[in-house]
């Protein structure tokens, strides 16, 4: 039997309910939805940490952040940690990564020789570098987010060559509308669609498939392609062509229950104590404040929050168009029957729900529950899986489907193969685990255990803080039951799971190289 190819498509900061296949009636995602229709949709898929680098490292290692060592943005994944691309490469796969990888910090100094850092690209000869990178034989890297993507990396170099005067159109100064004073990371981008980084990523993914079609005329070498879009991570700045497709005034208001902020730990309201306009979370890191990016929305207008929602859906629709091109290329080159396609995201986005924006340190489902779709050979179409799964399961699943054994040490996850075939025998997992490692306020370190019915989050340095939600009666997590006397026994039982299976390790992780 021919070994399957793999395409792993990953977005940045996309919650699972932002697509049609997960019940969203506003976002237009026909191509992504087709993966769910022709494959399996996972409805309880969890990232172990709600910020970029730790989650991405878990995806390629099968390890919780405390075990792979990258627990905050600003650290790097050690080259000694076994990765999925390396295991596949060692077993004959052609491995290639396109787009945002983010396994190293953006501001690492040049002497660290880290391709994810801007300083690396100032070194002589860097323009000719394209790998290897954590087991990928070759890569085409995009660094940072939309308004910094022009500064360094393969995309930045490409843009300077093909359109040297156009980079400024990625910036808010060139926006096709005034930038709101209360949310200065939202605008309609003036960059032409054909020069946009999402188009560049899709173009390179299709080109890779073209090259593999030529290679496979002779060798039939299987491939692993990681396609990583940096959207819909803020800034909320789709090209104007896509922004125009959404009426922001028709967007749903954020879900906030009366009094819910009084029932959650108080840090949500005091992380960013300044007054006035919104300030980008990375600036918070520069000022020694917590850089998890959680922002309260009490000083952000309803219209700005609705625009943020509309522009998020516009960015996702642009990604969906790229996914359609990739799926079309698979079909055109005859790869469809032999290729497993995976769609997921590193973490989610509050998008105003609970009165907060962006991500971390809070562990609401909007940031921890991410899309997970899989289609391909030996995968039963049309399944919806409610089992508790997570990013720790991705690497063992790919290796299992590839028929590769003992290529990586045993990790924290397990193969999803039985679920992909529709098996419901037994309980796949009793609970999911997660934790948040802060960058500035160490007392914000928290741990989470989620069962099918309950989600408990504890803060070891603040025993009086906690979050307990009944996911059956309160799926939106608006009514915190942690302080309820009737729940004391349940809190004790769930807390014991954390103590026994996930004892607190607030100082876990490798060296912090820089702020982000």
Give dist(CA 213, CA 258) in Å, integer: 57
Residue 508 forms part of a structural domain: no
Residue 318 forms part of a structural domain: yes
Residue 347 forms part of a structural domain: yes
What pTM was computed for the model? 0.95
pLDDT for the residue numbered 274: 38
Give dist(CA 288, CA 273) in Å, integer: 12
Give SS3 for 418.
helix
Domain that holds residue 160: 5-225+238-419+431-501
Q: How many domains does the chain have?
A: 1
Mean pLDDT by groups of 10 residues along the chain of 516 residues: 93 97 97 98 96 96 98 95 98 98 95 95 95 98 94 97 95 90 90 98 98 84 98 96 97 89 71 40 48 68 94 99 99 96 97 87 94 97 96 98 94 96 83 92 92 97 94 96 97 97 91 81
Give dist(CA 279, CA 287) in Å, integer: 11
Residue 426 forms part of a structural domain: no
Give dist(CA 217, CA 233) in Å, integer: 39
Residue 424 forms part of a structural domain: no
Q: E-assigned strands of 317-410?
A: 339-345, 356-357, 372-375, 383-385, 389-390
CATH number at residue 102: 3.40.720.10
Residue 247 forms part of a structural domain: yes
pLDDT for the residue numbered 281: 41
Give dist(CA 89, CA 223) in Å, integer: 9
What are the percentages of helix, strand and coil residues in the chain, rounded to 5? 35, 15, 50
Spell out the residues 6+ positions from residue 23 whose beta carbon is closer than 8 angstroms to its own.
17
pLDDT for the residue numbered 134: 98
Which region holds residue 396: left if phi is over 0, alpha if psi is between -120 and 50, else beta? alpha
pLDDT for the residue numbered 80: 97
Residue 409 forms part of a structural domain: yes
Give dist(CA 78, CA 511) in Å, integer: 10
Give dist(CA 129, CA 138) in Å, integer: 9
pLDDT for the residue numbered 356: 85
pLDDT for the residue numbered 299: 80
Residue 58 forms part of a structural domain: yes
pLDDT for the residue numbered 272: 46
């Amino acid at each position: 039997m021919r070994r399957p190819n793999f395409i792993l498509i990953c977005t940045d900061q996309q919650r699972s309910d932002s697509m049609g296949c997960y019940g969203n009636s506003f976002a237009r995602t026909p191509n992504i939805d087709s993966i769910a229709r022709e494959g399996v949709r996972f409805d309880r898929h969890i990232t172990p940490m709600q910020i970029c680098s730790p989650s991405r490292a878990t995806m390629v290692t099968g390890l919780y952040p405390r075990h792979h060592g990258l627990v905050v943005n600003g650290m790097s994944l050690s080259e000694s940690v076994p990765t999925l691309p390396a295991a596949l490469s060692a077993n004959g796969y052609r491995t290639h990564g396109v787009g945002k990888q983010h396994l190293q910090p953006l501001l690492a100094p040049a002497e660290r020789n880290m391709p994810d850092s801007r300083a690396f690209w100032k070194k002589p000869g860097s323009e000719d570098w394209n790998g290897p990178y954590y087991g990928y034989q070759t890569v085409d890297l995009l660094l940072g987010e939309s308004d910094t993507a022009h500064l360094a990396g393969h995309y930045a170099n490409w843009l300077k060559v093909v359109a040297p005067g156009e980079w400024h159109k990625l910036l808010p100064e060139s926006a096709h509308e005034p930038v709101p004073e209360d949310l200065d990371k939202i605008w309609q981008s003036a960059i032409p669609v054909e020069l946009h980084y999402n188009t560049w990523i899709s173009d390179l993914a299709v080109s890779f498939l073209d090259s593999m079609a030529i290679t496979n005329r002779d060798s039939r070498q299987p491939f692993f392609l990681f396609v990583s879009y940096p959207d819909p991570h803020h800034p909320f700045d789709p090209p104007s062509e896509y922004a125009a497709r959404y009426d922001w005034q028709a967007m749903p208001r954020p879900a906030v229950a009366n009094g819910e902020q009084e029932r959650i730990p108080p840090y949500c309201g005091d992380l960013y104590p300044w007054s006035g306009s919104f300030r980008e979370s990375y600036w918070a890191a520069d000022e020694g404040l917590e850089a998890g990016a959680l922002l309260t929305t009490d000083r952000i207008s309803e219209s700005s929050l609705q625009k943020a929602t509309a522009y998020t859906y516009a960015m996702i629709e642009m990604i969906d168009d790229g996914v359609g091109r990739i799926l079309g290329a698979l079909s055109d080159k005859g790869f469809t029957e032999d290729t497993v396609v995976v769609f997921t995201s590193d973490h989610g986005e509050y998008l105003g729900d609970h009165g907060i924006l962006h991500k971390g340190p809070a562990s609401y489902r909007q940031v921890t529950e991410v899309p997970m779709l899989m289609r391909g050979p030996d995968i039963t179409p049309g399944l919806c899986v409610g089992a508790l799964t997570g990013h720790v399961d991705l690497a063992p699943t790919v290796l299992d489907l590839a028929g590769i054994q003992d290529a990586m040490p045993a990790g924290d996850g397990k193969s999803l193969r039985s679920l992909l075939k529709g098996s419901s025998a037994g309980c796949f997992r009793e609970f999911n685990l997660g934790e948040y490692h802060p960058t500035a306020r160490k007392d914000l370190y928290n741990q989470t255990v989620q069962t099918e019915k309950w989600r408990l989050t504890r803060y070891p340095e603040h025993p009086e803080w906690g979050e307990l939600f009944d996911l059956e009666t309160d799926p939106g997590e608006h009514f915190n039951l942690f302080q309820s006397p009737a729940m004391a026994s349940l809190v004790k039982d769930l807390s014991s799971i954390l103590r026994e299976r996930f004892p607190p390790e607030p100082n876990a992780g490798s060296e912090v190289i820089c702020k982000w």
